[in-house]
Chain A
Amino acid sequence: MARSGGASQSRTRWRDQYNSWLRHHRLSAADSLHRVLQHPWSSLLTWMVIGIALALPVGLNVALDNAKLVSADWDSPAQISLFLNMDVTEAQARQLQRELADRGQIASTDLVSRDAALDEFQARSGFSDVLASLDENPLPNLLVVTPVADIGPEAVLALHAELAARPQVAQAVLDMEWLQRLNSLMDLGRRLIIAVGAMLILGVALILGNTIRLAIENRREEIVVVKLVGGSNAFVRRPFLYTGLWYGVGGGVIAALLISVSLWILDEPARNLALSYQSNFKLQGLGVMGGLNLVILGGLLGLFGAALAVSRHLRHIEPR
């Protein structure tokens, strides 16, 4: 009986300890928030610094996502221009066009006959006199082949090789380079954002660490007294970790607001621009989840920065 009594007693003690631990967390969280709000201007400044530092990379990333969306809207990612042999007649070219149009991989084909090409060239180039003096039309028939949008670059390359090997084709030019350039440009942009973002995030952690360090210095005497009357290191640490959390969360909220406001300002011009290109493209924002993630990221950064400062500075404050 004595044994079971001891066990239940230690269970209550454990629960008491848990309750007091929880109570102090609540108290620290509330007290830290109170202290942060007690100096609204300096806290707002800290929030702004963190918010801007977070909004920059995240905002650029949102912009890049939108750019990707726009480029995906273009349904002609690649074109293959088939310059046919000079001895291929227009009728034979049409025959080839029909044959190709039936293939699943090809979305559309467009025949520019040599006569049409000559007319256009004369009209546009200003060489009409020179061209008129020629005995025969130097231009070949041109068949422009557009593959379907969702086949990958490898399939486009294979199609290009196959078409180039056809006897009627003199030369097949794959017009994909501009797309590859765009893609690698966006890739570069993405990496740049990651690099800049990593630096800014490190900066945020250091700024927060410094803010917390100052808070620790300001409360040095209090820390000594708390340690003298039996406060543990965890007890002393807690309010500062919460201070960091509040700064970080506030910074995340500011960042989400900054991005939302920027997108709201950009929304109408972007829509007008899209309309002029006959597109109903709409700017994609952060969304609720994105905003929430930003706030969580801010909070985690705040905790991290505070932990950094606390581990460096709190240990050295001991009663003397």
Chain B
Amino acid sequence: MINFERVSKRYEEGRDALRDVSFSIDRDELVFLTGHSGAGKSTLMRLIMLIERPSRGEIIIDGQNLKTVSSRAIPRHRRKIGVVFQNHQLLFDRPVFDNVALPLVIGGYDHREVGRRVRAALDKVGLLERERAMPVTLSGGEQQRVGIARAVVGRPKILLADEPTGNLDPALSAEIMRLFEDFSQVGVTVLIASHDLALISRLRHRIVTLRDGRLVTGTAA
């Protein structure tokens, strides 16, 4: 589902964020991406989302080489991917429901379908009663779960999460991770960037480690 072949990314100021990285992740696999900050985790995620393009190498997502995705087609590519951000990236001027509905509104679903899917996603993350609440009134953990609901509401094939448990206590973090495991069990490819080694080593999934932009472990599929 996600294939990196000898991918390098050098930023304009000359910093090498990724060097010769190759790995592949299958469908319904859950993989942790780890490494110290600045090791290239975020860059790797940005390459998958086509926020950046690689300097060298090929990235194949869901059978499509990202080289062939024109900038006009980037929005369609992003709709295949659900993303959970470390800082949630919620819109604070509208209630939870509208935040979660955003990908569906962009996808052009009719409002009955939007309502059905949003409630299903909110139910999954345990926030069904808070659909009319404004995001500021939610705790950090609840905001993160709204972010997860928004990421999965469009039923993406791939789920990316960048430090999803960054600011949460261990109990909440474990709960969030359990949610991601559920999604991978229903056929979603999940890639989670995290440096919470204590947590992820307990979870028995493949761990891909980056150090200074190079892949250290986890090459095998």
Q: Which residues of A contact B (CB under 8 A)?
A: 16-17, 19-21, 23-24, 27, 221-222, 224-233, 235, 318-320
Contact = CB atoms under 8 A, between A and B. Distances in A.
B105 interface: yes
B9 interface: no
A292 B185 CA distance: 60
Q: Which of A221, A224, A225 has the most CB of B within 10 A?
A: A225
Interface stretch (B76-84, B137-145, B173-181, B195-203): B76-84
Interface residues of B, number: 24
Interface string B58-98: 00000000000000100111110001010001110100000
B9 to A, nearest CB: 15
- State the majority secondary structure of interface residues on A: helix
Nearest to B88: A225
A222 B105 CA distance: 14
Interface stretch (B13-21, B26-34, B107-115, B206-214): B107-115
A230 B108 contact: no
A225 B79 CA distance: 12
A228 B89 contact: yes
B51 interface: yes
A320 B45 CA distance: 12
7 contacts: A16-B108, A19-B110, A23-B110, A24-B108, A230-B154, A231-B106, A320-B51
Nearest to B103: A229
Nearest to A225: B89
Given A221-B91, A230-B76, A319 B108 contact: no
Interface of B: 49, 51, 72, 75-79, 83, 85, 89-91, 93, 102-103, 105-110, 150, 154
B107 A228 contact: no
A226 B110 contact: no
B75 A235 contact: yes
A229 B108 contact: no
Contact of B75 (A16, A27, A230): A230
Nearest to B46: A319
Contacts of B154: 229-230
- Which interface residue of A16, A27, A222, A230 has the most chain B CB atoms within 10 A? A230
A225 B150 CA distance: 11
A226 B90 CA distance: 10
B102 A225 contact: yes
B105 A24 contact: yes
A231 B51 contact: no
Given A229-B78, A230-B76, A17 B51 contact: no
B83 A228 contact: yes
B182 to A, nearest CB: 21
Given A235-B75, A319-B51, A229 B102 contact: yes
A232 B75 contact: yes
B44 to A, nearest CB: 15
B103 A222 contact: no
A232 B76 CA distance: 8
Contact of A222 (B75, B91, B109): B91
B105 A230 contact: no
A225 B99 CA distance: 10
Contact of A230 (B72, B85, B103): B103
B108 A226 contact: no
A20 to B, nearest CB: 2
Contacts of B91: 221-222, 225
Contacts of A233: 75
Contacts of B83: 228-229
Contact of B108 (A19, A224, A227, A228): A19
Given A222-B93, A232-B72, 12 more contacts: A20-B110, A21-B108, A222-B91, A226-B102, A228-B89, A229-B78, A230-B75, A230-B76, A230-B106, A232-B106, A318-B51, A319-B51
A227 B105 contact: no
